Structure 1
Amino acid sequence: MTCLACSPLAAQVRVKKPDRGTYQAPGSAAETTGDWELYPDDSPQLSRIQIDEVIYDDMEVASDAEGDGLQVVDAPGGLQLRALGEVAGANSQPSNAQIVRPVSAMSVHPNSSANGALMGGARIIQSTGSSHRGRVLRKTSGTVTMMEQPTFVGETIIGSSTPTSFQGPGCGMEGPGCGIEGCGCGFDVGCGLEGPGCGLDSYGCDSCGYGGCDGMCGPSSGPCGAICVDPNRWFGSAELMIMFRKGDRLPPLVTTDTAPDTGSLDTGTVLAGNDSVLKDSTVGGRLTLGLWLDNHQCRSLVFRGWVAGDEKYSFGADQRTFDVLAIPFFNVATDAEDSNVVVFPNAPADPAINGRFGAVGVDAYSELYGGDISVRQFWRGGLGTTFDVLYGYQYMRLSEGLNISSSSTLTEGTDAGNYISIRDSFEATNEFHGAQFGLAGRYREGCWSFNWLAKAAFGNVRRTADRQGSTTVGPPDTPQDGGLFVDPDTNEGTFTSDTFGWVPELDVNLGWHRFSNFDVTIGYHLMAMTDAIQVSGIFDRRINDTNNVLPSPAMRDSTFYVQGIHFGLSYIH
């Protein structure tokens, strides 16, 4: 199985390591120098050696070092080291040698720990003299390590029979597998790539990847303090979301009956209300935009904005569809069920109730959206898996409303032709502001990836209940205060309260690397808001209270949730 070892893109591949001890026999297509072979980037012939330590070092080459004969190598092609088979002698190579990717930013620490000798046959940047011996050579952005005439014994690079520590991308190596895994960044360049364009990954991995902004914001163009426009710094996704709300169970709102009964709950049949509404699927969307905050891709800033789409419910009827239409309520004055009759047939069905025609309508809606911004910091990873911790700010808004309107005109009796129109409006709004903490993870295997997010935000939930009522009688039109369920003396107006609440969230998705730099994703999400109010929590059907206490202005809260599936396209690099 071929390993990508030098390509910068390979630094973003996260796959499983092969078993320890795997060895690939040498070929004969390479140019041999001493006991090692040098290959170009596109060579498929790679074997495996293990190096003790690899760390990043972004420091400039000291001016005195340049005076010692160091020469910067611009736009390096990168090296790949191919170990030979067993060679007789003290510096023979073991059969369980492993491979490592030489990166485009490395340094070599010559030391005298072995036999007191200094390294003379290895160099970073291109050395034209020997005055650099014994000093630490550091890289300038864009340079590459070039090793001359090393042989490999165990897990140490030897130059001229002298131990040399090998340093590169900011981390230690963990294990002898086919790739790098270290700096606590879950960086794993390994084998097992399954075709061109597969397995390349950046978003959500927080890996110690390469690329970054060296070309745009590096030392050659100033400090990297500003936001860089390098596309390797950015990632994101756009998703279509099909969402299902918890819904709300409304009280009985419209009834019908058979005359002479008047549609009270004792005898009537409910046409609207007394059931859960606002729970059908809606189409929304989510946009995610992220920025890597360091060249190692260990920390990122992620913004998400989403909208669930509006959910609506409506009902309408008039005298053409029903002989009796009424709005039921509980009459506190009589301590019994009662109704406001809107449509009723002419007498003599019930001489106590004049005939009338009219119409009644019910409209309800639900709006839901939110967003968050967080910093994601790598925690741990390995074998193609990464775990990030995240912290930041979250906002969520839920607004639901209900309108009940009726119009009725008398058709007989001394008041024939008189009419009355009544309207009641209820709106419940919840706004959450708080801090969020959680975990995010990712696992990639070839062209497939699995991502998950589990977090919870805690903070303030501001609940606002707005109740408005109006009544018009005529002719002529004469407005009156209040409606049927909204009393200006008890519950009409705007009421606000604040409470502590939670917003937990779970999100999982499966990704397929279908296009270059893009994953096609499908997943499931669940989000909730505790201590939220809905229309049913601010609606009181108890009216006609002579003590002016009911209907009540109180707010009853509960936990609201929304869930669904999403389909998207994720940009990675």
Structure 2
Amino acid sequence: MSRIPVVRVEADVRAAYNRHAPHARQGTNIPTSARPIVEAIARLFPNEAAQRGRALRRSLALLLLALILPGVADAEEVTVCDDACLAAPAWSCEAELLVWWLRNGRIPPILTTGPAGSQGILDRPGTVVVYGNEKLDVNRHLGGRFTLNGWLDEAHSFGFQARGFVIERNSRTFELFSDGSLLLARPYFDAAAGAQASQVIAGPAPGTGDLSGSFYGFTKNELFGEQASIVLSLGTEAMTLNFLAGGYFLQMRERLEFTSASKLLPDEAVIFGTTDKSKIYNRFYGGHVGLQGELWRDCWFLGFQGQCALGLTTQRVNAFGDNVVATPFSRDWVPVGLLVQPSNSGKRDDSTLDVVYEFNVRAGCQVTSWLRVHIGYTLIYWTNPIRAGDQVDLALDRQQGAAGAARPRIPFADDWFWAQGGSAGIEFVW
């Protein structure tokens, strides 16, 4: 079974192109990007005898032109890469899809199991950490970044850049239930006794009885930032090179939640519930300086932008908890959890001098005189933010400082942080 030759279809497309594209030079080949469509048309009709009429082939050629003609003039200009097409634009607007990874944070041991006699206490034989004592394995984050560039004079010597990005909220949950046959416990360090201890939430609980219980852990983080820069051209001939200076803002928010619920066996008429929650806010405010450049070869370009920002990071920890004991006749509630006590509940603030580094590199192509596409890579390094898991204090003093410093506390322990990943974007220039 024969097919319409690709050469014949292409000849009809070329003839229609020369007739219907007023800008075209006679005999001009169709754009290379259209050849896959030409070949697809030839493959669509396996029986050449049934499709041999020139009227049908002309119709297919005109249909192909309807798909490629709106951008063919610009595409042809880019193919020859003349100065008018590749001249530096006065304005550009860019949108990018981001696929990033953030440095995972750690959480301390939060849930344990083991033999009934161990009570899930950390230093006893057989105790195993079920949740915590590890880095949280968070999947990749998707996001978007938007950039507006503009020159404010005809010589393109003085301009501005405004840029912002946002990464989606990414969360992780952990749930575990026991009917009492599997011991579950919340470990902590008894500061008053100077020894490890635990709160049993499923299994035999000393002084309470046999319990069934469940545990729920939740973590979430998100990142976004903005910057505004004055751009000064350094006027090099070998490549485009600009100096940047302006304001830089970066924020990271994290959340932790640990909830346990227990029922007294066998009738489950008495219910115990405990919740610890904390929200962490890091906000960096600073000024930055940097360099931005592009190197061109024909229609292809390689660009970079690097900057260093110096400023202040404000840190806030907002912790709260609750304890509930419910019976068929009463319900008692207190506004403290297990690891959230009066000594570390509520809003606490701190600040520190900080530095943020950012580096971007991208490679792309000028598709038309008004459109560019590119792929890229970004690395952000933040020196002194706080992470949510590092603010969890496992030392617990139920007397709240009657014989010493009140525990638990908020340590405001700094840790370095990075975000990195790839991007794919389109840029409109004019």
Please classify the TM superposition score into its range, dividing by the shorter chain length: 0.7 to 0.9
Match of 1:195 among 75, 79, 82: 79
Q: What SS is found at the alignment partner of 1:344?
A: strand
Change in CA separation of 1:200 and 1:394 when aligned onto 2, cut-off 3 Å: farther
Change in CA separation of 1:455 and 1:563 when aligned onto 2, cut-off 3 Å: same
- 1:266-285 C-alpha deviation (Å, 9 max, x unpaired): 33222211111154211011
1:491 partner amino acid: N
Match of 1:264 among 113, 121, 126: 121
Q: How many residues align?
A: 348
Match of 2:302 among 431, 445, 450: 450
Range moving further from structure 2, 416-425 or 458-467: 416-425
Identity of aligned residues (%): 26
Task: Indicate yes or no: 2:240 matched with 1:363.
Answer: no
Equivalent position of 2:163 in the other structure: 304
TM-score (norm 2): 0.76
- 1:308-363 C-alpha deviation (Å, 9 max, x unpaired): 21121110111159712211112223322222111116xxxx88662111211000
- 1:16-44 C-alpha deviation (Å, 9 max, x unpaired): xxxxxxxxxxxxxxxxxxxxxxxxxx99x
C-alpha root-mean-square deviation of aligned residues, in Å? 2.5
Alignment of 1:336-485 (within 5 A): 336-344=195-203, 354-383=209-238, 385-412=239-266, 417-475=269-327, 476-485=330-339
TM-score (norm 1): 0.57
Distance 1:201 1:421 in 2: 68
Does the 8 Å CA contact 1:449/1:512 hold for their aligned counterparts? yes
Does the 8 Å CA contact 1:200/1:517 hold for their aligned counterparts? no
Distance 1:432 1:419 in 2: 44
Equivalent position of 2:384 in the other structure: 531
Equivalent position of 1:518 in the other structure: 371
> Of Structure 1 and Structure 2, which has the larger fraction of its residues in strand?
2
Distance 1:527 1:339 in 2: 40
Task: Indicate yes or no: 2:147 matched with 1:288.
Answer: yes
Equivalent position of 2:190 in the other structure: 331
Distance 2:85 2:136 in 1: 43
Distance 1:419 1:465 in 2: 30
- 1:389-440 C-alpha deviation (Å, 9 max, x unpaired): 001111111111100011111105xx96322111101111011111111111
Distance 1:261 1:555 in 2: 32
Unpaired runs of 5+ in structure 2? 1-23, 26-76
Change in CA separation of 1:322 and 1:310 when aligned onto 2, cut-off 3 Å: farther
Distance 2:150 2:206 in 1: 76
Does the 8 Å CA contact 1:199/1:513 hold for their aligned counterparts? no
Distance 1:531 1:362 in 2: 26
Does the 8 Å CA contact 2:283/2:315 hold for their aligned counterparts? yes
Change in CA separation of 1:517 and 1:480 when aligned onto 2, cut-off 3 Å: same
Distance 2:249 2:344 in 1: 29
Task: Indicate yes or no: 2:344 matched with 1:491.
Answer: yes
1:235 partner amino acid: S
Equivalent position of 2:17 in the other structure: none
Distance 1:199 1:416 in 2: 81
1:404 partner amino acid: F
Q: Which runs of 4+ in 1 moved over 6 A?
A: 198-202, 350-353
Distance 1:268 1:483 in 2: 23
Distance 2:308 2:206 in 1: 62
> Of Structure 1 and Structure 2, which has the larger fraction of its residues in helix?
2
Change in CA separation of 1:506 and 1:241 when aligned onto 2, cut-off 3 Å: same
Unpaired runs of 5+ in structure 1? 1-41, 44-192, 210-231
- 1:96-133 C-alpha deviation (Å, 9 max, x unpaired): xxxxxxxxxxxxxxxxxxxxxxxxxxxxxxxxxxxxxx
Does the 8 Å CA contact 1:440/1:453 hold for their aligned counterparts? yes
Deviation at 1:515, TM superposition (A): 4.0
Distance 2:117 2:361 in 1: 58
Does the 8 Å CA contact 1:344/1:357 hold for their aligned counterparts? yes
Q: Which has the higher contact order (CA 8 A, sep 6+)?
A: 2
